[in-house]
Amino acid sequence: MTRFAYFGGHEQFQPETLVAHARAAEEAGFDMVMVSEHFNPWVDDHGGAGFAFSTLGAMAAATQRIELVTGVTTPLFRFHPAIVAQAAATLDRLSGGRFTLGVGTGENINEGPLGYVFPAYAERAARMTEALEIMRRLLDGERLNYAGTYYQTKQSRLYSPPLHRVPIWMACGGPRSAVLASKLADGIIVSVKAVDAALAEVVEPVQAAAKRGGRPPLTVVTTRWSILADSDDEAWQALLAWRGLRAPGRLQAVDPAQLRIAADALPRSEVLSRYSRATEPAQLIDIYKPLVDEVKADVVTFQITSIDQTSTIRRLGQEVLPALRAIAATP
């Protein structure tokens, strides 16, 4: 059965607001909250960049049922993978087993500002291979001596271990990352712009690779961006914190001011055109329906922005989730 997640973006909202949104998402009937983990936002004039692991701890205390997911953290540079495992285990305990660890290979906007050289994908994939093994073995209770190319541990152990098995989901953007995830992760997180491309480039390769390796199918977690707004002006206001996400040079940028300048040099219509848009909740059903009945995702994540986010969460619960759940239940 498809589950539904609400995305809480640290790049847009301050952490105390995200905690309130998590409570609202639980009340609205969402199954999960996926929380971004960033050191920098996408622009320097709007939004924030709170510490995700602290926010998640507060969410665990403020909610009762909803599951919590990092969407995603990078266990390669700013955090040693053993520290990420420690954080995951602590969140599992604080949430009563409601935490899933989502990881990815990172972005220069978060690593570069701290002096790390952000390498090409081949090195990041090699680092992730080691990181996934370290995190899995520690979370599974092992006392670990590990001598890798990038990371080492000596008599490492989690003395506050998780109370439940913590799943690890890996963000995937193409076949190479999908094959890596198929070997060591429990699930994949894929941002879906075009359904056919997501299936051909990520979902099908990961499941085929898992089958070849004798592993069960991985959990498929989809995300899709949307804007709920009555007009172009309202949509732009809702998008202010995110406009750098689609700016030229995003992958190389270190300074959010650089991305703000690049984004604001583009016509607003061009930036807005890169996001799915709706003027009423009923249109959101059509935007997210393909993730349910074509991708057949295990989890569908609403990455959505508006000028009244709390109202939007409530309306999603009232007008959108019931329709999508009905579609998911249809044979």
What are the residue numbers of the active site?
Answer: 38, 107
The residue behind tokens 């949509």 is 235
User: What is the token pair recorded at 217?
Assistant: 């199918």
CB of 68 closer than 8 Å to CB of 77: no
Which residue pairs from 200-203 have beta carbons closer than 8 angstroms and sit at least 24 positions apart in sequence?
A: 201/173, 201/174, 201/175, 202/172, 202/173, 202/174, 202/175, 202/177, 202/178, 203/178, 203/295
DSSP string of 104-151, one letter each residue: ----HHHHGGGT-----HHHHHHHHHHHHHHHHHHHTT--EEEE-SS-
Q: Can you point out the beta strands (E) in the chain?
A: 3-8, 32-35, 67-70, 99-103, 144-147, 152-156, 168-171, 187-191, 219-228, 276-278, 299-305
